Amino acid sequence: MTDRRVAVVTGAARGIGAATVAALVTAGWSVLAVDIAADDPAIPYHLAGPDDLDSVVAAAGDPDRVAGYVADVRHLTAVESAVAEAEERWGGVDAAIACAGAIVGGIPLQDLPLEAEQAVLDINLGGTLKLARASIPAMLRRPEPRAGRFIAVASAAATRGLPLLGAYCAAKAGVAGLVRSLGTELGPSGITANAVSPGSTGGAMLAESARLYGLSAQELFAMQQPIGRLLAPAEIAAVIAFLASAGSGGITGTVVPVDGGLAL
């Protein structure tokens, strides 16, 4: 049991998820860092592994405040077990942050293998839906007045038509629609629902995007953003940490662009 606020973060072993764990720990949260920590045959690049998840936990510097948990966000029972672990370990859940994601494409939609299409939908959108299903009841178990936070990572792909990434664009648009619905649905409960919409952010997924588009380096995506550079995962995580804070209570049902001006 702890008096600290408690968060569950999926996709926590690297990238925006790992940066979010670090930002929340700095802000005083206790965090369950959740990741599949394994490759997937439908995803054509390496996902984070157990060592990556262990490193995120170790970097937090306090095993009483951060714990790793291996779970596949595509399976509701696994996500429910993760939420239950956070409740048992720290006494409740105050925020759930869906960072788990994967990208597949580079070919016309009609040529994309069905298993790859399904993986993109199930991880990016299905995983977010399942975290909402599992975490909202836990946040509602907190006594009033509540300050629960459901936060998801959408993408500039939710609003821009990116060629050869139809399934990914569809999944991220679904994430944006979900938080708008939840913002209305949760209304006066004290729980808010929001998303961040990153632009081109340095990391493994952007490196895969570069490969899909035949680019020699992910840094070449910087030219499409008015700020003239890639975003860092920590920049996205800083906005997520704000949305998780008490000061964001007036914001709900919103998709916040953190895209270096990409959507302009």
Phi-psi domain of 111 (left: phi exceeds 0; alpha: psi -120 through 50; beta: other): alpha
Calpha distance 153→190 (Å, rounded): 21
How is residue 12 written in tokens? 């926590």
Please give the order of strands across the beta sheet that includes 66-70: 66-70, 30-35, 6-10, 95-98, 149-153, 192-198, 254-258
Q: How far is CA 3 from CA 6, 7, 66, 88, 244, in A?
A: 9, 13, 14, 13, 16
Task: Name the residues annotated as catalytic.
Answer: 168
Calpha distance 125→29 (Å, rounded): 26
Q: What is the DSSP string of 44-86?
A: SSPPP-HHHHHHHHHHH--TTTEEEEE--TT-HHHHHHHHHHH
Give the residues across from 257 on adjacent strands.
Answer: 197
Question: For strand 95-98 and strand 6-10, is the pairing parallel, antiparallel, or unpaired?
Answer: parallel
Phi, psi torsion values for 28, nearest 5 degrees = 100, 10
How is residue 113 written in tokens? 């293998």
